[in-house]
Amino acid sequence: MTTVVDTGSVTRPGTDPAPALEQPAARERPLPVRALAWLGGHWTLVLAVAVVALVLAWAVVPGAFASHDPLAVDPAGKLRAPSAEHWFGTDQLGRDLYSRVVHGARASLSGSAIAVAVGAVVGSLLGALAGWFGGVLDAAIGRGIDVLLSIPGFLLAITIVVLLGFGIVQAAVAVGLTMTATFARLIRSEVLRARTSTYVEAATTSGASTWDILRRHVVPNSIAPTLSLVTVQLGIAIIWIASLSFLGLGAQPPDPEWGRLVSDGRNYIASRGWLTLWPGLTVVAVVLATNHISHHLTRRDAS
Amino acid sequence: MTAVLSVENLTVGYRTRGTLVPVVHDVSFEVEPGQVLALVGESGSGKTTTGHAVLGLLPGNGQVTGGRIRFRDQVLTELGPRGWRDVRGRAVSLIPQDPGVSLDPVRRVGHQVEDVLRLHTDLDARARRDRVLELFELVGFTDVERRYRQYPGELSGGMRQRVLIASAIAVEPDLIIADEPTSGLDATVQKQVLDLIDDLRARSGTSVVLVTHDLGVAADRSDLLGVMQHGRLVETGPTAQVLADPQHDYTRRLLDSVPARLASARERVEVPASREVVVEVEDLRKVYGDVAAVDGTSFEVRRGETFSIVGESGSGKSTTARVLTGLTQATSGRVRLLGTDVTGLGRRGFRPLRRDVQIVYQNPYASFDPRFDVYQVVEEPLRSLRDRPPGSGGRFSGRFSGQFSGRLGGRRPHEDEVVAALEAAALPADVVHRHPRELSGGQRQRVAIARALVLEPKIVVLDEPISALDVSVAAQILELLRTLQAERDLTYVFISHDLAVVRAISDRVAVMREGRIVEHGPVERVFSAPETDYTVQLLDAIAGRRLTAGVP
């Protein structure tokens, strides 16, 4: 019977019945054609990525996009309508609104990045601890999350800002802390799923220590689903940071920030509508774009 | 034209991304009244697709592209949706594969069986109810009133399968398609269900197309046998004739793979009693909540021996395996492995022993991290145990070099050992860079075996290692395990529900039931002269008596 081992053992992919799956029809077309076809099928995604990329570029090198100084006051040219010189018009102090929107990207985006980072790191840590150790710790963290979720998020963020003091970083931390609950819940369930999986059990029998298992198996396998949550939370964070700044709790004058710009233009909303319109539209476009990217990531995860 | 069902040159394809991939080619067969045709083949052979085509139940992207299916004087392949509704359930019915998902979990089972009667008969509510109760009696339920009101979740797998059979026979169809009706059921339950189908056929002259991967079941229960491979019917004929004198190579190969026919069943040399005892279990108990999963078992295994634990689901055999591999702690009793008392050891305390005690799981794919390629899977024990014995100074260097040089490509730190282990498991060296998802089921199980062997352990616990594999692949894995044992003087603890496999590989066997060992001894003795009723019952339930009849 050893002959069976000898002939059957060399189960080369081609001779085995199962790998018959390995014949995708798409391979036949050349790469550029396939790339174009993919882009054509995902044009909305391409648009969303382009919007986010543009705004990121604004934040990194604002000078390359706007020639005016966002803080330069020009009493002679205040409250001008949009023109070739001032694309978005000028505000009540004669500052170029387009430049202020471009320069404001840095505060808004870094603020929401900090918020999501705080939320993801603190939340994931709590969620991982709860999921991995279970028992009393899980119960304690779980109830803590419940309490956090029962308080209206924005109210909680305002309270935290008041405690920490006004400013964009404080506002970001406040928003981040209110987001921890969402991250903790997701990570907890992912860790729980990984922990009870056969491959973690197999790692245990392979002799891996708890730390090895967490680092090698549990954390990497829990991160993928977090990615789409990060993008969706980024959109929410942009709105919240802008809202806090609108209320005067975030970015302080004269620094430009999107929410702040809407707030500044509010007094002239009836006669000079563009002062609120352009910063507002920017926020809407960026949030829609991040949500769309997140939607795409979620769908890809699911399939 | 006497045939109930005649399939002529049936060709079926699945449409994927705009191209039609044919999966069933040119299949023809006929079934006469009261006959059972068994379609056997391995996974992907097209047997289920054929069965579903007869019922017009192909998935959305499936399509009959050629040939005809004739049922009595109707040509099924020409029916529209309305015509199909009239035929299905009334004239042709299905016993589906998985009773777990084929019943609506939130409706009482009685009402679900009644649906068929409502659709195809004029009976009023009372008459329908009476008929369902009658059917439940027919499929062997006692206390039918209570069953009628129960939900699927309250029934065991075997009972659910009976409910499905009741609804399949409710309006006395002329033809039943039974798609793997008993896979996933325990052997004794399988026997009851198959007996029931047999009985119904004898009583009402119904024809049956039995789709199965289990040659034993097919051999015992069919009049006609059709063997499928790669979507073609390679051999067909009266069952007895095909078994006695197979014409096609593939049929011969399948028959040779049946565990009961394997040469190893008759070639084992007894392990001398003088060899050291490596596994010693004394009065082991494991209690979950207030249920004892293992309730006072004792056994010993000597070096080089294969000790099998057989039992049906819930017998405590897997819990025993988990205790032996340090995944769970015994509630009481004593477990000694290689002379070390492991009874009180937690996962951390057990670690030094992992080098010598390894496990192979039933489902290899689930036991691999989905992000790992074959190299990383097999390397894991080396990284965990070889590089840094607990407490040594090299902890961090070992950990990080393993992590990062692996990513940079080129030669990876343990490549030689990993390739050697893969080759020992009879895999070509080039699979090392592939992902397990690209491998077949048998190859994946070989990877799992390579991982278990890479540290050169002394004891390997095999937890149903071949239950999920096709019969010819399973035979190869069994041979591999046997060869490895001979080469490396391994001790196996083999957990299985399949008595035929146990007989082929074991030296000694323990039969477990409800947490206790009801009988144990040398495999030949237990199989030829069983001492307890339960063992007799289990042996009686083994399918495939007709397969081994011709083997000396």
Query: Can you read off the two tokens belonging to residue A233?
Result: 């939370």
Distance CA A192, CA A300 (A): 22
Handedness of CA B125, B126, B130, B133 (dihedral sign): positive
Mutation pick from B45, B372, B440 vs chain A, by most beta carbons of A within 10 Å, is: B440
pLDDT of residue B404: 42
Of residues A286 and A9, more confidence is placed in: A286
Fold of A44-57+89-302: MetI-like fold (1.10.3720)
Per-residue pLDDT reduced to its tens digit, A123-172: 989 998 898 888 899 999 999 999 988 999 899 999 999 999 998 999 99
Q: What is the mean pLDDT of residues A238-250?
A: 91
- pLDDT bucket at B392, cuts 50 / 70 / 90: very low
The angle subtended at Cα B105 by Cα B103 and Cα B111, nearest 5°, is: 65
Closest CB from A11, A20, A202 relative to B367: A202
Percent of chain B residues topping a pLDDT of 90: 30
CB A138 within 8 A of CB A130: yes
CB B294 within 8 A of CB B492: no
pLDDT exceeds cutoff 70 at A1: no
pLDDT exceeds cutoff 80 at B49: yes
pLDDT of residue B401: 40
The angle subtended at Cα B549 by Cα B543 and Cα B552, nearest 5°, is: 130
pLDDT of residue A38: 83
Other beta carbons less than 10 A from residue B467's beta carbon: 15
Percent of chain B residues topping a pLDDT of 70: 92
In one-letter notation, the amino acid at residue B122 is D
pLDDT of residue B273: 75
Burial (0-12, 13-18, 19+ Cβ within 10 Å), A148: middle
Query: Can you read off the two tokens belonging to residue B350?
Result: 């057990």
Query: Can you read off the two tokens belonging to residue B165?
Result: 């059979």
- How long is chain B? 552
Distances (CA, A) of B433 to A217, A250, A276, B117, B415: 19, 52, 57, 57, 10
Give pTM, 2 decimals: 0.76
In one-letter notation, the amino acid at residue A124 is S
pLDDT exceeds cutoff 90 at A56: yes
Fold of B5-44+53-257: Rossmann fold (3.40.50)
pLDDT exceeds cutoff 70 at A6: no
Percent of chain A residues topping a pLDDT of 90: 43
Check for a shared fold between B5-44+53-257 and B275-356+458-552. Answer: yes
Residue indicated by tokens 């937890």: B463
pLDDT exceeds cutoff 50 at B397: no
- pLDDT bucket at B386, cuts 50 / 70 / 90: low
B440 inside 8 A of chain A by CB: yes
Distance CA A213, CA A191 (A): 11
B472 inside 8 A of chain A by CB: yes
Nearest-CA distance B421 → chain A (Å): 14
Mutation pick from B256, B337, B380 vs chain A, by most beta carbons of A within 10 Å, is: B380
pLDDT of residue A145: 92
Nearest-CA distance B437 → chain A (Å): 10
Alpha helices (runs of H) in B325-464, residue ranges in sequence order = 347-354, 374-381, 395-407, 415-424, 441-453
pLDDT of residue B268: 65
A59-63, B108-112, B192-196, B372-376 — which is least confidently predicted? B192-196
Per-residue pLDDT reduced to its tens digit, B155-178: 887 888 889 988 888 888 889 999
- pLDDT bucket at B408, cuts 50 / 70 / 90: very low
Winning range, highest mean pLDDT, from A36-40, A227-231, B263-267, B421-425: B421-425
Handedness of CA B489, B495, B500, B502 (dihedral sign): positive
Query: Can you read off the two tokens belonging to residue A97?
Result: 């609104």
Per-residue pLDDT reduced to its tens digit, B219-242: 888 999 999 998 899 999 999 888
pLDDT of residue B387: 54
A218 contact residues in B (CB cutoff 8 A): none
Q: List, as ranges, residues 244-303 from B with C-beta within 8 Å of A.
A: 256, 262-264
Residue B449's DSSP bridge partners are none
Per-residue pLDDT reduced to its tens digit, B488-524: 999 999 999 888 888 888 899 999 998 899 999 998 8
Winning range, highest mean pLDDT, from B86-95, B222-231, B346-355, B535-544: B222-231
Query: Can you read off the two tokens belonging to residue B96?
Result: 């589906």
Per-residue pLDDT reduced to its tens digit, B2-36: 788 999 999 998 887 778 888 899 999 999 888 89
A110 inside 8 A of chain B by CB: no
pLDDT of residue B77: 83
pLDDT of residue B297: 92
CA nearest B477: which of B488, B466, B489, B485? Answer: B466
Contacts of A227 (CB under 8 A, 6+ apart): A297
- Domains in chain B: boundaries: 5-44+53-257, 275-356+458-552, 367-389+397-402+414-456
Q: How far is CA B28 from the centre of its chain?
A: 28
- pLDDT bucket at A303, cuts 50 / 70 / 90: low
pLDDT of residue A302: 61
Closest CB from B264, B325, B357 relative to A1: B264
Pick the CATH number of B275-356+458-552 from 3.40.50.300, 3.30.70.100, 3.65.10.10, 1.25.40.340: 3.40.50.300
pLDDT of residue A58: 92
Task: Report the phi/psi class of residue B238: left, alpha or beta, with left for phi > 0 and alpha for psi in -120 to 50.
Answer: beta
- Domains in chain A: boundaries: 44-57+89-302
CB B308 within 8 A of CB B321: no
Bridge pairing between strands B62-71 and B207-212: unpaired
Closest CB from A18, A25, A197 relative to B366: A197
Per-residue pLDDT reduced to its tens digit, A211-242: 889 888 988 888 877 888 898 899 999 999 99
pLDDT exceeds cutoff 60 at B407: no
Closest CB from B325, B354, B443 relative to A11: B443
- pLDDT bucket at B398, cuts 50 / 70 / 90: very low
CB B208 within 8 A of CB B2: no
Other beta carbons less than 10 A from residue B544's beta carbon: 20
Q: How far is CA B291 from the centre of its chain?
A: 27
Of residues B156 and B552, more confidence is placed in: B156
Per-residue pLDDT reduced to its tens digit, A72-125: 888 888 888 888 888 888 888 888 899 999 999 999 999 999 999 999 999 989
Q: What is the mean pLDDT of chain A?
A: 84
**How many interchain CB pairs under 8 A, A with B?**
118
Q: What is the mean pLDDT of chain B?
A: 85
Q: In what order do the strands lie in the sheet with B516-522?
A: B357-360, B459-463, B491-496, B306-310, B508-513, B516-522
pLDDT exceeds cutoff 70 at A251: yes
pLDDT exceeds cutoff 50 at B310: yes
pLDDT of residue A3: 38
H/E segment holding residue A40: helix A31-41
Phi, psi of B302 (to 5 degrees): -95, 160
Is the Cβ pair A220, B355 closer than 8 Å?
Answer: no
pLDDT exceeds cutoff 50 at B134: yes
pLDDT of residue B58: 85
Closest CB from A17, A202, A221 relative to B42: A17
pLDDT of residue A89: 86
Per-residue pLDDT reduced to its tens digit, B524-538: 899 889 999 999 988
